[in-house]
């Protein structure tokens, strides 16, 4: 897309700069958001009663032991130095040590994050094509019973709590009819197809949630384009409705669709938390909830940072791609 921007001589060169300025501004604001998160996460430890050394050693540690560990951890350095060291360590992938079981946080988090990404990717692979297809269908047969029904179902699903949908699916698909397992216990040694099968029901729950938004947006974007004169023209020419939608409407509706798709992928990444807990899926979300309950703050720090980076990154991508997908936005 960017090469297109360069090779095409643009009569209004100042205008295309505005788009890049917008991208720059978005990059900057994402960076600020992440910096806020980093700072907040860092000071989270300082706000706790006691410090990390006391927490690691527990209540019955001697004063000397606490002081020695404090020295080892660099806790007696001034705040700004600790903050700088923490960021440098983070940049090197050193996430610290879990307060609960003294294992390296990076080890704890890494495999779990892989599992979460697997689940989210599976849900996305099912949800994106399905909702685009249904959205196009709803636009094609708009104001019919199909359209009405699909909008009512999808809109009510999003007003349900996640666990309601999850348990309903479990009750019907794994208890009444034993099609899927109700608990997704997978490990790193689980073969790919077993892992896929075990993750299908949690993925299905997530699909139901993100589909509503994506499908409505696809429909709305296409219907919006359908009122344009060139679509009228195509219709008068005698083109079939499906041809008009695929050839004329869809290409001009990509920008909002791409935006909403990626936005929902970002939602998937954080929406997994509750679904993972319902299905006992060994992902990052479950680890986060467990650690919050145990107040294992270093693990909470690491998990929330990973979630935040993924979320902010995907939202940034959504905005940038939707500018690049639409020549009009590109030159605004």
**Token pair 């080890």 in the structure block, residue:** 107
> Should residue 270 be labelled a site residue for other proteins when binding is judged by CB under 8 A?
yes
Give CA–CA dist 314/70, Å, rounded: 38
Closest distance to other proteins from the beta carbon of 316 (Å): 9
Q: In this chain, which of 36, 88, 179, 242 binds other proteins, going by CB under 8 A?
A: 36
> Should residue 269 be labelled a site residue for other proteins when binding is judged by CB under 8 A?
yes
- Characterise 93 by phi-psi region: left (phi > 0), alpha (psi -120 to 50), beta (else): left
Q: How far is CA 14 from CA 18, 20, 75, 320, 323, in A?
A: 7, 10, 52, 18, 16
> Should residue 79 be labelled a site residue for other proteins when binding is judged by CB under 8 A?
no
> Should residue 198 be labelled a site residue for other proteins when binding is judged by CB under 8 A?
no
Closer to other proteins by Cβ: residue 20 or 40: 40
Site residues for other proteins, 289-308, by CB under 8 A, read: 289, 291-293, 295, 297, 300-301, 303-304, 307-308
Q: What is the DSSP letter of 282?
A: -
Cα atoms in the Cβ-side hemisphere of radius 13 Å centred on 130? 17
Distance of CA 29 to the CA centre of its chain: 18
Calculated CA dihedral for residues 254, 260, 266, 271, nearest 10 degrees:
-140
> Should residue 81 be labelled a site residue for other proteins when binding is judged by CB under 8 A?
no
- First-residue to last-residue Cα distance in the chain: 16
Q: In this chain, which of 22, 146, 163, 254 binds other proteins, going by CB under 8 A?
A: 163
> Should residue 262 be labelled a site residue for other proteins when binding is judged by CB under 8 A?
no
Q: In this chain, which of 119, 226, 265, 274 binds other proteins, going by CB under 8 A?
A: 274
Closer to other proteins by Cβ: residue 99 or 249: 99
> Should residue 38 be labelled a site residue for other proteins when binding is judged by CB under 8 A?
no
Q: How far is CA 233 from CA 40, 144, 225, 249, in A?
A: 56, 24, 13, 12
238: Cβ contacts below 8 Å, ≥ 6 apart: none
Q: Which residues bind other proteins (CB under 8 A)?
A: 29-30, 32-33, 36-37, 40-41, 44, 47-48, 143, 151, 155-156, 158-164, 167-168, 170-171, 175-176, 182, 216, 220, 266, 269-270, 273-274, 277-278, 288-289, 291-293, 295, 297, 300-301, 303-304, 307-308, 311-312, 315
């Amino acid at each position: 897309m960017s090469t297109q921007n360069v090779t095409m001589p643009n009569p209004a060169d100042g205008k295309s700069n505005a788009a890049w300025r917008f991208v720059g501004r978005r990059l900057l604001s994402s960076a600020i958001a992440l910096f806020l998160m980093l700072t907040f996460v860092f000071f989270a430890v300082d706000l706790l009663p006691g410090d990390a050394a006391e927490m690691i050693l527990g209540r019955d540690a001697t004063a000397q032991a606490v002081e020695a560990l404090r020295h080892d951890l660099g806790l007696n350095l001034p705040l700004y130095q600790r903050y700088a060291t923490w960021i440098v360590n983070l940049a090197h992938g050193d996430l610290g040590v879990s307060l609960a079981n003294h294992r390296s946080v990076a080890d704890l988090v890494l495999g779990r994050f892989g599992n979460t990404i697997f689940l989210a990717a599976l849900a996305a692979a099912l949800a994106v094509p399905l909702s685009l297809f249904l959205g196009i269908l709803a636009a094609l047969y708009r104001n019919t019973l199909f359209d009405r029904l699909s909008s009512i179902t999808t809109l009510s699903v999003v007003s349900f709590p996640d666990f309601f949908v999850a348990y309903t699916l479990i009750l019907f698909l794994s208890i009444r009819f034993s099609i899927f397992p109700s608990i997704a216990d997978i490990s790193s040694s689980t073969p790919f197809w077993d892992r896929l099968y075990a993750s299908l029901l949690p993925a299905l729950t997530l699909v139901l949630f993100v589909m509503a938004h994506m499908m409505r947006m696809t429909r709305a974007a296409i219907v919006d384009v359908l009122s344009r004169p060139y679509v009228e023209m195509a219709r008068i020419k005698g083109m079939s409705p499906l041809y008009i939608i695929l050839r004329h409407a869809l290409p001009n509706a990509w920008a909002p669709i791409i935006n909403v798709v990626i936005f929902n992928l970002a939602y998937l990444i954080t929406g997994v938390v509750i679904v993972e807990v319902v299905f006992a899926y060994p992902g990052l979300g479950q680890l986060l909830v467990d650690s919050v309950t145990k107040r294992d703050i270093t693990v909470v720090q690491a998990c929330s940072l990973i979630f935040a980076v993924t979320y902010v990154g995907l939202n940034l991508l959504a905005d940038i791609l939707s500018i690049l997908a639409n020549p009009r936005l590109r030159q605004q």
